[in-house]
Amino acid sequence: MTQPTEIERLIEMMAKLPGLGPRSARRAVLHLVARREGQLGPLARQMQLVADTAQACERCGNIGTAALCPICADPARANGQICVVETVADLWAMERAGVFRGRYHVLGGTLSALDAVGPEELGIPTLLARIDDEAVREAILALPATVDGQTTAHYLADQLEARVTLTSLAQGVPIGGELDFLDDGTITAALEARKPL
Amino acid sequence: MTQPTEIERLIEMMAKLPGLGPRSARRAVLHLVARREGQLGPLARQMQLVADTAQACERCGNIGTAALCPICADPARANGQICVVETVADLWAMERAGVFRGRYHVLGGTLSALDAVGPEELGIPTLLARIDDEAVREAILALPATVDGQTTAHYLADQLEARVTLTSLAQGVPIGGELDFLDDGTITAALEARKPL
Ligand SMILES: [Zn+2]
Ligand SMILES: [Zn+2]
């Protein structure tokens, strides 16, 4: 046995994070172990705090530390616009662009016949209820330009078109691209040039 | 405020790890928050455990969870060979190759006139004391092929040549390469073909 079991175990756990592998996990752990008091301890405690408090917003699916996320808890964000995104990462990417001042709905996936993901799994009934509850006038569909993403957008359009103005992000989002990988300027431009469905 | 402060803070802390940046830190945190019970909580507790128990081995400088690391605590590793490395990452890389059965001495750096790093800072007096204490017959210098690494190797050779057989890793380690980036086979070959200084 070379490394103590505790450190080996930490490396294995870090190696499971997206974007890390065994080598980068080793480097990260060595870095942290050399900074036990200044970095490792505080990081451990912050993780525990988030593990203890993080929860999905019961309204929109964003991640927060209360029943309602900061956006849903802010009355100023009830401006009649709702932006439908696939993932929390996409919501954060929209927020980084900083132009959209309405609320979100995180589907947590897209409709997929193959994977048997239906409207219920994506919280679409909740979204429909929110249209009335929050007096939504415009729904901006910011879904991926994939087959499943566009299938989902069409399904939502069918459900919503009688009740709200539907828009989607303008061309500018590259085909097959993910919001989370775009720069803020591209997101801003696509949002400002959004077009009716 | 988009993300709750606690999560924002965790992302900032993760982004400081080597190999991660703001984007990969966000992805890692989202991944963990979606797996609070299965991954985030256990990772937090494992980090805290390591933060509470990890320490530098008082003899060789390896990282362990006791005064002596597992290698120094193992009497079978007192085989008369000591391998001098720059970093704990290099020690781990040697161990992964799995051929060397002696002990190590981690300098924690290399001599550098520019940075005013002298023999004391690198624990070289401790290394000299270990030669007698542990009946070392051969010292294998596995130091980087950089100017400072080779300066350090020459300094150690001067100090040690009257008392032990000195060897260095064979050609095979690329110029300017770091042990931690080499595959195990290269390290094994270089170790087996080590040559007298
Ligand atoms: Zn919310
Ligand atoms: Zn040791």
pLDDT surpasses 80 at B193: no
Among A135, A74, A41, A35, CA closest to B45? A41
Residue A66 three-state SS: coil
Residues B2, A28: C-beta atoms closer than 8 Å: no
| H helical segments located in A15-123 | 22-33, 41-53, 88-97
CB spacing of B40 vs A17 below 8 angstroms: no
Tokens at residue A189, please? 């431009």
- B35 in A contact zone (CB under 8 Å): no
* Residue A43 and residue A28 in contact, taking contact as beta carbons nearer than 8 Å: no
Taking the CA of residue B144 and the nearest CA in chain A, the distance in Å comes to: 17
Choice between B147 and A57, residue whose per-residue pLDDT is larger: A57
Check: complex ipTM more than 0.85? no
Q: Is B189 helix (H, G, I), strand (E, B) or coil?
A: helix
Segment B126-137 mean pLDDT: 93
C-alpha of residue A23 to centroid of ligand 2, in Å: 22
**Cα–Cα distance, B197 to A114 (Å, whole number):** 65
Question: Domains in chain B, start-ordered, CATH in brackets?
Answer: 5-53 (1.10.8.420), 76-168 (3.40.1360.10)
What DSSP state is assigned to residue B144?
-
CB within 8 Å: B69 and A4: yes
CA nearest neighbour of A83 among A66, A64, A60: A60
Segments of chain A with pLDDT less than 50: 1
Give per-residue pLDDT as tens, A54-98: 999 999 999 999 999 999 999 999 999 999 999 999 999 888 888
Judged by CB atoms closer than 8 Å, whether chains meet at B53 and A29 is answered as no
3-class secondary-structure state, position B117: strand
Name every residue whose Cβ is closer than 8 Å to that of residue A133 and which is 6 or more positions away in sequence: none
Q: B1 pLDDT band (50/70/90 cuts)?
A: very low
Q: What angle do CA B147, B184, B101 make, to 5 degrees?
A: 90
Query: Whole-prediction pTM value?
Result: 0.79
